[in-house]
């Protein structure tokens, strides 16, 4: 995931979270405001409240009339008083006739929830029908409270989302510091399936890749060190003999065995050359990665005939007997032919040197669901100690088959030597 894509997806997720928080806040506002209005409607619609408000309004009207000695015909003074009252409607009657009303609405005895009162004016008494409606301030307060609650809920949702991301980022930063300190065995925590989780997954894959690469490098260093040690021993042995024979020849103490010593010197020189060739071959193969090989599709039957069976015929011409066992082979492979020939060249070279000619070499071809297996089994001609101690040829074969994502296994017992080579199947033929 590149940087721009990562931030784009993270911004989109933040926008979606903000939209979700807004929707939740809106739904909460609608629900709480509806419940608040229902409660206020139930509370303000009671007769007791209307009467209490009307009683207070009637008392204030009587006090106003008495204090100002207002007459029934003084509508201006009555308008001034009615204007000072909020949410109030009043109608004055005298002898069943309307003598005053503060709005264009005449309140009668059947108008609910209006209440009647007797008001004493300077020039007589009038019947006042008063309707007082509760103030709308409580509804406004309810709206503000519900809006505040909805906004806080939306902000809390956004805060929880952002806080979770920040805490996760802080956790990843602390784990990166652990990796920076050299502890590559500490896994990266993957939480969820969002962009940060994808980033953490890629970081963990990178950690594993670095750890595996370090392990392979350490293993390679150890293998090379062991190889150099073994090769030093293997080269020292024929060199020591070679120097001993040359000293004998130089001193003239050959006792008529000059030809024998020269043959021994030649054999030791050939052994040294063989070991040096194997060492060169090993490092040539070791320096190649999978990408350096030229893989080509091949038919498995043709491959076995050209690479394996031809060498088996050569082995039979040298006096070996070969026992074959084969499944029905119907597949194709994906191989680098030159390097594979090097593998089987090492195998047949070992067979020619160390196999007991009095016992057959057993070869078996097996095709499993995803692998073509080639198995060799032979009786060793002498003790296992007679085999090359460094095993450099086998290491070369193992390296090549690893590059093929295949199998190379060998096992040496007191009597038998077994090798198994496996190629991944490319497809059925």
H or E stretch at 406: none
* H or E stretch covering 170: helix 137-180
Residues 27-38 have pLDDT tens digits of: 888 888 888 777
Average pLDDT rounded to a whole number, residues 195-224: 80
Q: Span 86-108, mean pLDDT?
A: 81
Question: Among the CATH numbers 3.30.565.10, 3.40.640.10, 3.40.50.1000, 3.40.50.1220, which is that of 292-428?
Answer: 3.30.565.10
pLDDT of residue 374: 92
Q: Is the pLDDT of residue 365 over 90?
A: yes
Q: pLDDT of 56-82, one tens digit each? A: 889 988 998 898 888 988 888 888 888
pLDDT at 385: 39
Instruction: Please state the rounded mean pLDDT for residues 361-370.
Output: 91
The dihedrals phi and psi of 367, each to the nearest 5 degrees, come to: -115, 115
pLDDT tens readout for residues 132-189 = 877 666 777 878 888 888 888 888 888 887 888 788 788 888 888 888 787 878 888 8
- What residue spans define the domains of the chain? 3-44+138-180, 47-135, 185-287, 292-428
* Averaged pLDDT, 79-101: 86
Spatial distance between the Cα atoms of 138 and 140, rounded to a whole number of angstroms: 5
The predicted structure's pLDDT at residue 384:
45
The pLDDT, as a whole number, for residue 183 is 80
The answer, yes or no, to whether residue 383 has pLDDT greater than 60, is no
Residue 228 has pLDDT above 80, yes or no: no
Answer with the residue of higher pLDDT: 225 or 51.
51
Q: How many residues does the chain have?
A: 429
- Reply yes or no on whether the pLDDT at 43 is more than 70: no
Return phi, psi of residue 214, to 5°: -65, -40
Q: Which of 226, 234, 312 is nearest to 271 (CA)?
A: 234
pLDDT beyond 80 at 244: no
Closest CA to 378 of 398, 397, 351: 351
DSSP state at residue 386 = G
Between 252-256, 351-355, 377-381, 393-397, the lowest mean confidence (pLDDT) is in 252-256
Q: Give the whole-angstrom CA distance, residue 82 versus residue 64.
A: 11
DSSP state of 304: I
Q: How confident is the model at residue 363 (pLDDT cuts 50, 70, 90)?
A: very high
Q: Measured between alpha carbons, how far is 97 from 126 in angstroms, rounded to an integer?
A: 10
Structural element, H or E, at residue 85: none
DSSP H/E element including 183: none
What predicted TM-score, i.e. pTM, was given to this entire model?
0.43
In the CATH scheme, what architecture does the domain 185-287 have?
A: Orthogonal Bundle (1.10)
pLDDT grade for 251, boundaries at 50, 70 and 90: confident
The pLDDT value recorded for residue 427 is 59
Residue with structure tokens 């297996």?
Answer: 373
Average pLDDT taken over every residue of the chain: 80
Which has the higher per-residue pLDDT, 194 or 173? 173
| Rounded CA separation 310/348 (Å) | 11
Average pLDDT over residues 392-397: 77
Distance CA 290, CA 73 (A): 114
Read off the pLDDT of residues 295-351 as tens digits, 9 standing for 90 and up.
888 898 888 888 888 888 888 888 889 899 988 888 888 888 888 888 888 888 888
CB 149 within 8 A of CB 9: no
State the pLDDT at residue 286: 56
């Amino acid at each position: 995931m590149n940087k721009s894509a990562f931030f784009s997806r993270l911004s989109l997720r933040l926008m979606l979270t903000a939209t979700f928080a807004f929707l939740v806040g809106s739904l909460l506002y609608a629900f709480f405001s509806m419940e608040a209005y229902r409660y206020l409607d139930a509370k303000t619609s009671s007769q007791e409240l209307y009467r209490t408000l009307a009683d207070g309004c009637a008392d204030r009207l009587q006090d106003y009339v008495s204090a100002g000695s207002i007459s029934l015909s003084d509508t201006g003074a009555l308008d001034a008083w009615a204007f000072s009252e909020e949410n109030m409607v009043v109608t004055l009657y005298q002898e069943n006739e309307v003598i005053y009303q503060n709005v264009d609405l005449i309140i009668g005895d059947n108008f609910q929830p209006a209440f009647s009162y007797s008001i004493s004016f300077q020039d007589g008494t009038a019947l006042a029908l008063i309707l007082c409606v509760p103030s709308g301030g409580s509804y406004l307060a309810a709206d503000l409270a519900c809006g505040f609650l909805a906004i806080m809920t939306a902000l809390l949702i956004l805060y929880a989302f952002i806080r979770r991301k920040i805490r996760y980022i802080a956790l990843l930063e602390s784990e990166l510091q652990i990796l920076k300190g050299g502890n590559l065995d500490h896994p990266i925590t993957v939480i969820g399936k969002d962009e940060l989780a994808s980033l953490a997954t890629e970081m963990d894959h990178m950690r594993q890749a670095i750890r595996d690469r370090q392990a392979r490098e350490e293993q390679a260093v150890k293998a090379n060190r062991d190889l150099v040690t073994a090769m030093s021993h293997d080269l020292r042995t024929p060199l020591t003999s070679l120097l001993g024979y040359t000293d004998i020849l130089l001193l003239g103490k050959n006792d008529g065995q000059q030809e024998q010593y020269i043959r021994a010197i030649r054999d030791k020189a050939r052994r040294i050359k063989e070991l040096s060739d194997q060492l060169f071959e090993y490092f040539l193969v070791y320096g190649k990665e999978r990408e350096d090989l030229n893989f080509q599709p091949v038919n498995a039957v043709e491959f076995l005939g050209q690479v394996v069976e031809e060498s088996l015929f050569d082995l039979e011409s040298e006096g070996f007997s070969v026992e074959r066992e084969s499944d029905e082979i119907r597949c194709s492979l994906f191989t680098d032919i030159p390097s594979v020939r090097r593998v089987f060249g090492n195998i047949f070279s070992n067979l020619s040197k160390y196999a007991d000619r009095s016992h057959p070499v057993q070869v078996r071809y097996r095709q499993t669901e995803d692998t073509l297996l080639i198995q060799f089994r032979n009786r060793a001609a002498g003790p296992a100690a007679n085999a090359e101690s460094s095993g450099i040829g086998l290491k070369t074969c193992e390296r090549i088959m690893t590059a093929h994502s295949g199998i190379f296994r060998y096992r040496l017992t007191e009597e038998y030597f077994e090798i198994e080579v496996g190629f991944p199947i490319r497809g059925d033929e």
